[in-house]
Chain A
Amino acid sequence: KQEVTQIPAALSVPEGENLVLNCSFTDSAIYNLQWFRQDPGKGLTSLLLIQSSQREQTSGRLNASLDKSSGRSTLYIAASQPGDSATYLCAVRRDFGNEKLTFGTGTRLTIIP
């Protein structure tokens, strides 16, 4: 059974700093990995999607990497802003024919102005 873990559970950093969020998964046989952002009381916003054949994806100040063999992904946020404060979730999909997502436990990020 796939298990997805995110450490730390919570993180506070001063505005302007670069930061890294971690995601690890126990079964490396994945189809893709997705990073989401969730604001309090809201749904999920997709940030980046990395296919299993890819090593990284970039969107603006965000960069996500994937090391499938070691079961790890990181989300790098450059020049953090207070608006980046949210809970960040990673999720993995097992294969093309199975669209279920297994979610990580989440990291609650607070950017201190």
Chain B
Amino acid sequence: GAVVSQHPSWVICKSGTSVKIECRSLDFQATTMFWYRQFPKQSLMLMATSNEGSKATYEQGVEKDKFLINHASLTLSTLTVTSAHPEDSSFYICSAIGERGSQAFFGQGTRLTVV
């Protein structure tokens, strides 16, 4: 299957700082990328959908000014957690889709810990 690489795999940051997470499709062009958040022992919650070259669409309840998403190319999307707080600590996972209707491939996730 196709490969989606997420970096970093884990990060620890201080409260008030910003953290950027990258999601890359390595062997295909991703027309759409998704960002999910997962709390311990819970399922994935969709945060936002991003299409290359356009603004991300955020799910209800997700603060777009706090979770900045940029999809500058067909192989890269970034999620920046701004002014991070301990409650932002979570597991963040991205996924990417090539052609419309095709299956989604997932990155390996990023464990964010805010101290």
Contact = CB atoms under 8 A, between A and B. Distances in A.
Contacts of A89: 43-44
Interface residues of B, number: 25
Contacts, number: 54
A60 interface: no
B103 interface: yes
A104 B6 CA distance: 23
A20 interface: no
A99 B43 contact: no
A43 B100 contact: no
A53 interface: no
A99 B107 contact: no
Contacts of B46: 100-101
Nearest to B6: A43
B108 A101 contact: no
Contact of A46 (B6, B43, B44, B106): B106
B93 interface: yes
Contacts of B6: 43
Interface of B, secondary structure class, is strand
A104 B104 CA distance: 16
A81 interface: no
Given A34-B103, A100-B46, A46 B1 contact: yes
A34 B106 contact: no
Interface of B: 1, 4, 6, 32, 34, 41-44, 46, 49, 91, 93, 95, 97, 100-101, 103-109, 111
Interface of A: 31-32, 34, 36, 41-46, 49, 89, 96-97, 99-101, 103-106, 108
20 contacts: A34-B103, A34-B104, A41-B111, A43-B4, A43-B108, A43-B109, A46-B104, A99-B97, A99-B100, A99-B101, A99-B104, A100-B46, A101-B34, A101-B95, A101-B104, A103-B44, A104-B43, A105-B42, A105-B43, A106-B43
